[in-house]
Every structure is written in structure tokens, then in C-alpha cells.
A and B are shown apart, each in its own frame.
Chain A
Amino acid sequence: MIHAEGLTKRFGSLTAVDQITLDVGDGEVFGFLGPNGAGKTTTVRMLAALISRTSGRAEVAGYELGSEADELKIRERIGVLPDNVGLYDSTSAYQNLEYFGRLHRMDPTALRTNIERLLGMMDLWEKKDLPVSTFSKGMKQKVAIARALVHDPVLLFLDEPTANLDPEAAKMVREVILELKKENRTIFLNTHNLDEAQRICDRVGILRTRLLAVGPVETLRSGFARKRTAVRLERTSEALVAAVKQRLRTDGVEVSGDRLLVDVDDPARENPEIAEAVVAAGGRILELSQVSPSLEEVYLKLVHEETALP
């Protein structure tokens, strides 16, 4: 659905997006993570044919970025939720959707059917004739998502869909995205909410001007952050930690509550040795498990390493 090669955007001397190469498949939910100013919105704007690229190439929804005719085709086939909802407050939810459906030159009957289906899905059908100005932030965000979907796009770009929403409204919007995922829609989700990305996305890319990593969340978690084994003990002590360190010949042991956390490279080989070392040091093991690093750890590691680069 998306194929980008060396996509770059410069504003004068500032490089906003540097040499991005990525693929997003049909029906995939792809999360684009990065701190503020990392280039996420610029990337979406390039892929959505809203701004030009400085170099590189990209094919979106079957059309190549570059010519005005193809870019019109791209905008026909995609839906975009910008980081600001940008609704017409004085008009109703129905009128907002109707206007955008007509701009996409939809057949009036299909448009009515789509609006009814989408507002129904968003639990807003009963309020369809109320001015949008009377809606809460979460409801407005849902109308904006419906607007991006009104013409049945094959690809949906969502730019920070839960930013600035209270937890309840954010949950409401996440549920809508999960519904869309069930419908097998291709979604490109810009977010800096790692929990959201972890729960919703099939794959994520971590961006800080350059694409630092890309892959399924699990692969990133196992590939970019240290693996650790957690040993829950009846009781911990400094002496026990020192003895375990000495026996395993490592400094990678720390205490967290009633658990010892031990850095490992190969858990299958090292876990029996860890258990032996703890028992030999006088510890009583209640539980031994593998600790999966969170996406947050992977993200922070990559983003901070990138910051440290010259």
C-alpha cells in the first residue's frame, strides 16, 4: 500500500525527514513513533500528497508521488485525519461528512449510506443534526475520523488521533481504531503514545528525522532492548546479590522489590545457571520468569542513542 525509498524533506537548511525507506502492506496497521519534531507529520503530509518531497520516491495506494494527476488519485484513495480535527463548528456532523463526501465526488445514495453507517459506528447517529460546536473533544475526534472514512479510502492516515484527549475520550477513539483494524483497513498511525502503538499496531517504525528501527513490536522488543530474567525470592539481601554476582561473574544483577533482575543473552542456557547461583547463595526461589522489555524501553534507547550521535 505504501512503498517509500529514501524519502527526504528539507525546509531550507533544516532536514525534517531524512532518507526514509519503508513498506506498509495491505490491511496493516503501521505505527509511526517519534518525539515531537521528529518528522512524523511531515512524512504523513508527503505520503498524503500534501507537500512535495525534496528527494527519494514513494508509491502510495498504487500511484507514484510527483505528478499532480497521480497525487489527485492518491488523495481520492486515502483518508487523512490531521492532528487538528478542523471541523466546521457551525454545521452539523452530518453536514460535515456530506461536504467531504461530495468533495470526493461520491454518489449521493452511497454517501448517505456511508454517513449513516459511520455515525452509527461512532455512536453519533442520534446527534447527527446537532452543530459540531456542541460536541465534546472526543466526539469531535470521532466525527473527524468518520470524515476521513466517508469516501471508503483504502488507506487511512491518522496523525496523533488521541493527543490532547482526556483518558475516556482517548479510549473511545482507540476503540474506534480497533474497530477499523477489524475491518482490515490499512492504517498509518502517527503517535507518541507507546502504549497505544503496542496495543493497536502490527508493526511500528521509530523516527527521529531518520527511521531508526522498523518491525513488529515483539521483534523490536527482543532485538533492541536487553533481555532479563526475573527471580522472585522469599527474601533478598545485599549479601545474596553480591554472592550471585560473584558466582555468575557479572555486574548485570539488580534488585527490584522482592525480585532479582539478571541481564541475559541466552535465557535457555543461562536461566539454569542463575537458579543454581541463587540457591547456592542461600536464596529461596518463588518464581523465575523472563522479563520482556517494553516498547517504551526500546523507544527511549533508540531515541537517546540517536541524540548522542555526533
Chain B
Amino acid sequence: MRFSQAWLIARHDIGIFRHRSGVMGPLIGLPLFVGIGFPVLVDYIVRSNGTAGLGTYLPGLIDAFSFWFVIGAATLPTAIAAYAIVGEKVEKSLEPLLSTPTTDGEILLGKTLAAFVPTVLAIWAGSALFQGLIDAATRGALGYLLYPNGEMVVILFALVPLVSLYAIELCVLVSSRVTDARSAQQYASITFVPLIFLYVAGEIGFTLDTTHLLYIAAGFVVLVLALFQVSRRTFHREEILTQWK
């Protein structure tokens, strides 16, 4: 496996979707919305309620907001991966790509990186804003800095990359069965389902502390490895040329 070949493909794909508003809109919009919108809401709550009792419910509320970065990791890469794989299939540019001296694994890695790298970077940038603004808004009321903390480290450096990979791999699987990028995106939105359960669990009182988040991350490691095996088999030169719709 030559990483340079994969990175060349990733850079090319990133260069193409940079000009697509359907991809760039959510990629910039969602992290900005979570990174600025939620801290503005928290700031409003702090200003309107004063400091009384904030220490008991504010950290929990903010943790629920931070889980939106995980949801972003599940949704954002599907738009890119759908273009990078189904878009190329539809535009018939996959066959010339397959005709180059590049292995299936290198192409798959390139497509994965094209969706993974911008997603993770956008989420990290959004979370930096989020953490800075939340600290600025709550430091006076809480008397301490809420971020960085262990939960956020696990979310950003374990859950976000893993959930992003999980979403991309599902998109690869879906790509072989659909004929347009929009359908691929819609089918791949099932990635969202387990995360909704986690979000609801958090909202109804199940504490998503560092330990629980690490268990969830471990579950995603297993899921990602299993899906990787299946997507490697699906993203096979001969399958693509003869079996894909």
C-alpha cells in the first residue's frame, strides 16, 4: 500500500468537492453552528438566570451539546464519500482511475481520506471555537474552566474519527447498490441511528462520562474493523466494473 498514491487521490477529490456548495455548506455550517450557536445559547442562559444553581445542570447540558460533534462526524463525511465514490461512478470516471497502476486498497484509502480529513478537521475547528466560547461564557458562573476535559478529549480524538470512519465505510457499502450520490447519502444516514440512542440516553440521565465514552469508542473500533473487511470486499476492481449498478 503506497500512502502517496492514496493521498494523491484524496487531494484530488478534496480539490473537486471544495467547489460544491452541497458538500461545503454542511461541512462549514454544522461545526460553526455547534461551535458558536450553542455557546451563544449558554451565554444567554447564564445572563438571564444569574449564577444560582447553574453549577448543577449547566455542565450536563453543555455535554449534551458537545455530543453534536459526534453526530456531525456521522453525517458530514457521507456527503463527501457519496460524491467521491457514487459521483465518480455516475460520471464514469472510476474506470479510468481503475486503469491506473493503483491498487484497490490505495483507491479506497484515498476516497476514505478525502471524506475523513476535512470532516475531522472541520469538527476539531468547530470544537475549538465551542470550548473557547463556552469557557468564556461559563467561567464566571461556574468558577472554573469546563474545557478541555476528559470527555471532550475522548469525543474529539476517539469518537469523532471512529464514527467518521464508520459512516464512510457504510457509504462505500451503499455505493455499490445505488445510482446517484443523493441516494447514497440518504441510505448512509442510517449511521445516525445508534448515535440517536446515545444522545437520548444522555438526555434521560445516562451519564456519558469518560469511561462510558471509552466503552462506546471501543464498540466503534469493533464496528469499524468489521465494516472495513466488508467494504474492502465491496470496493474491488472487478466488482465495481461488473457488479455495481
Q: Which residues of A contact B (CB under 8 A)?
A: 11, 45, 48, 50-52, 68, 72-73, 75-76, 78-80, 82, 84-91, 99-100, 102-105, 144, 147-148
Contacts and interface: CB of A to CB of B under 8 A. Distances in A.
Most buried by A among B99, B237, B241: B99
Given A51-B238, A51-B241, A84 B92 contact: yes
Interface string B1-33: 000010011001001100100000000000000
Given A72-B103, A91-B16, A11 B242 contact: yes
B91 A103 contact: no
A79 B100 CA distance: 8
A102 B4 CA distance: 10
Tell me whether chain B's interface is mostly helix, strand or loop, or mixed.
helix
Given A75-B99, A85-B92, A86-B96, 14 more contacts: A45-B241, A50-B241, A51-B238, A51-B241, A68-B103, A72-B103, A75-B100, A76-B101, A82-B92, A82-B95, A90-B19, A91-B16, A103-B100, A147-B96
Contact of B16 (A88, A100, A105): A88
B92 A75 contact: no
Contacts of B207: none
A19 to B, nearest CB: 20
Interface in B93-116: 93-103
Contacts of A86: 91-96
Interface in B67-120: 91-103
Nearest to A11: B242
A100 B96 contact: yes
Contact of A48 (B92, B99, B102, B242): B99
Contacts of B94: 86
A50 B98 contact: yes
The 5 closest A-B pairs by CB, nearest first: A84-B92, A80-B99, A86-B92, A86-B93, A76-B101
A48 to B, nearest CB: 6
B8 A103 contact: yes
B19 A104 contact: no
Contacts of A72: 101, 103
23 contacts: A11-B242, A50-B98, A50-B99, A50-B238, A52-B238, A68-B103, A72-B101, A78-B99, A80-B99, A82-B96, A82-B99, A86-B93, A87-B93, A88-B93, A90-B16, A100-B96, A102-B8, A103-B97, A103-B100, A103-B102, A105-B101, A144-B96, A148-B96
Interface string B220-243: 000000000000000001100110
Interface in B24-44: none
Contacts of A85: 92
Interface residues of B, number: 24
Contacts of A48: 99
B222 to A, nearest CB: 29
Most buried by A among B8, B94, B100, B242: B100
A78 B98 CA distance: 12
A148 B100 CA distance: 9
A147 B5 CA distance: 18
A75 B96 contact: no
A208 B97 CA distance: 28
Contacts of B241: 45, 50-51
Contacts of B95: 50, 80, 82, 84, 86
A51 B16 contact: no
A75 B99 CA distance: 6
B96 A104 contact: no
A142 B97 CA distance: 17
Nearest to B104: A68
Interface string B136-162: 000000000000000000000000000
A100 B93 CA distance: 11
A82 B19 CA distance: 27
Contacts of B102: 75, 103
A133 to B, nearest CB: 11
Most buried by B among A45, A78, A91: A45
A80 to B, nearest CB: 4
A73 B98 CA distance: 13
A78 B242 CA distance: 21
Given A50-B241, A85-B92, A86-B94, A100 B103 contact: no
Contacts of A80: 95-96, 99
A89 B93 CA distance: 10
B1 to A, nearest CB: 12
